[in-house]
Amino acid sequence: MNTHNLSPEFWDHVEELRKTIIRCFITIALATALCFSCFSWLYPVITHPLNTKKQVQKTVISTERHSNPNPYSITIPAPPHSITFFSDSAYMTKDNRISLPPNGYIDIEMINNPHSLVILGPLEGITTSLKISLWLGLVISFPFWGFFMMQFLLPALKNHEKNFICPFAFCSLLFVFLGGFIAFTFFIPFTNEILQNFNQKLGINLWSISHYLNYTLIMSLSTIIASELVLVLFFLVHYGKINDKKMRKWRPGVLLGIFVLSAILTPPDILTQIILALPMAGIYELAILYAKIKRSQNRLNQYLIENF
């Protein structure tokens, strides 16, 4: 292809696209840096679904003894773990310290709390934080880089296309946050409880920070993708791109596709897949009903136009 034959307008569009991409990358990078700098504040929010309503049984991993070999009494800070035994004359002071007499001791249980995450490598904490900050930055900065992309695309769109894409972009942003809200308030806590109870029968629940946050990311994205598919479906119905007759004809294949998609987007347990698939199947049926109402409304409008 001879680049000399390309019109100046083409290179103007390429230059504008280059500037748009640079603005988007800078916006995402700044949002990622902000999320990483505030990750200590964001971390409790991300791990909030671990605090399920039903507490999983805790497991004693080891017992450790703290003793006083000195010929005089000493005080030590109260340990963060469970104290199971005080020797004679050992007691807890008012300022939350432990007084140990000569040769006194306390026994401390090291307890596994299934709601605490562990770090299994020196780089695991920082690499996981960077990965999650990138995804959070991508979501948080969506209004800005989405605006830049819209600014680039809108001049090339026709009026009816603008009437479609503008409300869709706004609703898409709302559904992203709605999907994340549903994931963190219902879907992830419910799945955590199922997995914790199942794992408790097999061994000790020690979840690493990278595995848990990756799993949380997958579950959140799955719910957001499902909500965006619902939005696309209703927009296609609303603007008359598909009707209820076609949707009823496609129903068997769509329902099969919903369960396959749920199996891909969720952990490998049937209950979680059903929990995601059933609402999507119900929403598809609601979309058929909405399409039928729209078709009846269009018929009524056409009748009124022709007769009045």
Lowest mean pLDDT among 85-89, 93-97, 238-242: 85-89
The answer to whether position 292 is within a domain reads yes
**pLDDT tens readout for residues 175-192:** 888 888 888 888 888 888
pLDDT for res 157: 65
Higher pLDDT, 303 or 114: 303
Mean pLDDT, all residues of the chain: 77
pLDDT for res 30: 93
Burial category of 208 from C-beta neighbours within 10 Å (exposed 0-12, middle 13-18, buried 19 and up): middle
Number of domains in the chain: 2
pLDDT for res 233: 82
Same domain, 65 and 146: no
Tell me which residue range forms the domain holding 290: 117-307
The answer to whether position 201 is within a domain reads yes
**pLDDT tens readout for residues 24-37:** 899 999 999 998 99
**pLDDT tens readout for residues 211-253:** 888 888 888 887 888 788 888 888 878 777 778 788 888 888 8
Same domain, 83 and 169: no
Same domain, 123 and 213: yes
Same domain, 108 and 143: no
Are 124 and 212 spatial neighbours (Cβ–Cβ below 8 Å)?
Answer: no
The answer to whether position 13 is within a domain reads no
The answer to whether position 34 is within a domain reads no
Residue 4 pLDDT greater than 70, yes or no: no
The answer to whether position 39 is within a domain reads no
pLDDT for res 33: 92
- Mean per-residue pLDDT, 196-212: 77
Nearest to 46 by CA among 172, 131, 146: 131
Domain final residue pick, 112, 135, 156:
112
Helix (H, G, I), strand (E, B) or coil at 48: helix
Same domain, 140 and 198: yes
DSSP 102: T
Same domain, 176 and 205: yes
Are 265 and 222 spatial neighbours (Cβ–Cβ below 8 Å)?
Answer: yes
Same domain, 199 and 97: no
Same domain, 130 and 82: no
The answer to whether position 66 is within a domain reads yes
Same domain, 100 and 201: no
Residue 260 pLDDT greater than 70, yes or no: yes
Same domain, 148 and 256: yes
The answer to whether position 14 is within a domain reads no
Same domain, 169 and 293: yes
Residue 287 pLDDT greater than 70, yes or no: yes
**pLDDT tens readout for residues 49-84:** 776 555 444 555 567 777 888 888 888 777 666 666
Same domain, 130 and 229: yes
**pLDDT tens readout for residues 136-184:** 888 888 778 877 887 777 776 676 666 777 777 778 888 888 888 888 8
Nearest to 125 by CA among 212, 52, 48: 212
DSSP 236: H
Q: What predicted TM-score, i.e. pTM, was given to this entire model? A: 0.64
